[in-house]
């Protein structure tokens, strides 16, 4: 086992858990918020299991997923906007619980949890199909175009999975106001995809032809 990689992964997991908890429960003013714990559970439990699996079976992929040092200026701007969006959404959801703002019924939270887990499953399938997936936009050594499976349907199935993940989060929390905030993800992800495709079309052999073969970016017959 790569002990350095394991320590890095465990440290980032713990830091993410703490930061997420602070963003949710400090604004809520209490730990007695079951929707907050539901989101923490469906988010971090599968993440922990997936991390252990990648540690054992695909450490190189795990290393890529942990690397968040984005070199593209446009992508750094996109990531900054995304972070601001998430902070605002989680804080508003917590404040909504504290002050009794209008909320979704309890069954919606459980439905949202199911959609979130479905998004996780889709995300895992994308990771299985594409060993080149990193958190940064780059062309890697010996990389080739992946055009089978989900990549034969849309060009960015990972981002399609994030639509399910991110839009179900505020539903799990029962917050319609947080959902409205997270709608900002649509122009943000469109901006990221546009820049990513420019990078890949320039630096990855066969990608322009792939763009011609697979027309849709995120959702078939929509975009």
For position 76, what pLDDT does the model report? Answer: 82
- Least confident range of 6-15, 26-35, 100-109, 170-179: 6-15
Task: Give the H/E segment covering residue 161.
Answer: helix 157-172
Across 130-152, b (16+ Cβ under 10 Å) vs e yields bebbbebbbeeeebebbeeebbe
pTM of the model: 0.91
> Above 70 in pLDDT, residue 207?
yes
Find the mean pLDDT for residues 163-185: 97
- Which two structure tokens, joined as six digits, stand for 111? 């439905």
- Least confident range of 7-11, 15-19, 164-168: 7-11
Find the mean pLDDT for residues 26-30: 98
Find the mean pLDDT for residues 49-61: 83
8 Å CB contact between 174 and 109: yes
Residue identified by tokens 């010996």 is: 142
8 Å CB contact between 193 and 156: yes
- Least confident range of 11-15, 136-140, 143-147: 136-140
Domain at 3-213: CATH architecture: Up-down Bundle (1.20)
Rounded Cα distance between 49 and 52, Å, is 5
8 Å CB contact between 161 and 122: yes
8 Å CB contact between 111 and 171: yes
Percent of the chain with pLDDT over 70: 91
For position 120, what pLDDT does the model report? Answer: 93
Find the mean pLDDT for residues 18-41: 98
> Above 70 in pLDDT, residue 5?
yes
> Above 90 in pLDDT, residue 19?
yes
For position 50, what pLDDT does the model report? Answer: 86
8 Å CB contact between 190 and 78: no
For position 69, what pLDDT does the model report? Answer: 67
What mean pLDDT, rounded, does the chain reach? 89
What tens digit of pLDDT does each residue of 94-143 get?
A: 999 999 999 999 999 999 999 999 999 998 898 888 766 655 545 555 67
Q: Which DSSP string do the residues of 177-196 spell out, in sequence order?
A: HHHHHHTTHHHHHHHHHHHH
For residue 171, give the DSSP letter.
H
For position 115, what pLDDT does the model report? Answer: 98
- pLDDT: is 39 or 62 the higher one? 39
Domain-by-domain residue ranges, the chain?
Answer: 3-213
Q: Which DSSP string do the residues of 56-68 spell out, in sequence order?
A: HH-HHHHHHHH--
For position 23, what pLDDT does the model report? Answer: 98
Rounded Cα distance between 143 and 54, Å, is 20
Q: How confident is the model at residue 40 (pLDDT cuts 50, 70, 90)?
A: very high
């Amino acid at each position: 086992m790569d002990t350095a990689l394991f320590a890095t992964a465990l440290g980032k997991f713990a830091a993410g858990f703490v930061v997420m908890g602070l963003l949710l429960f400090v604004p809520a003013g209490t730990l007695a918020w079951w929707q907050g714990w539901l989101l923490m559970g469906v988010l971090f439990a599968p993440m922990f299991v997936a991390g252990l699996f990648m540690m054992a079976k695909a450490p190189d992929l795990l290393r890529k997923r942990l690397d968040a040092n984005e070199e593209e200026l446009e992508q750094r701007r996109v990531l900054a906007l995304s972070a601001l969006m998430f902070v605002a959404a989680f804080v508003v959801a917590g404040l909504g619980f504290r002050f009794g703002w209008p909320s979704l019924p309890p069954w919606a939270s459980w439905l949202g949890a199911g959609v979130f887990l479905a998004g996780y499953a889709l995300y895992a399938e994308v990771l299985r199909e594409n060993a080149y997936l990193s958190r940064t936009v780059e062309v890697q050594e010996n990389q080739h175009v992946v055009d089978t499976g989900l990549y034969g349907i849309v060009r960015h199935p990972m981002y399609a999975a994030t639509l399910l993940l991110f839009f179900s989060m505020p539903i799990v929390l029962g917050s319609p106001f947080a959902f409205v905030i997270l709608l900002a993800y649509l122009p943000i992800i469109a901006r990221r995809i546009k820049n990513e495709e420019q990078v890949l079309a320039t630096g990855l052999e066969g990608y322009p032809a792939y763009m011609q073969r697979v027309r849709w970016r995120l959702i078939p017959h929509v975009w």
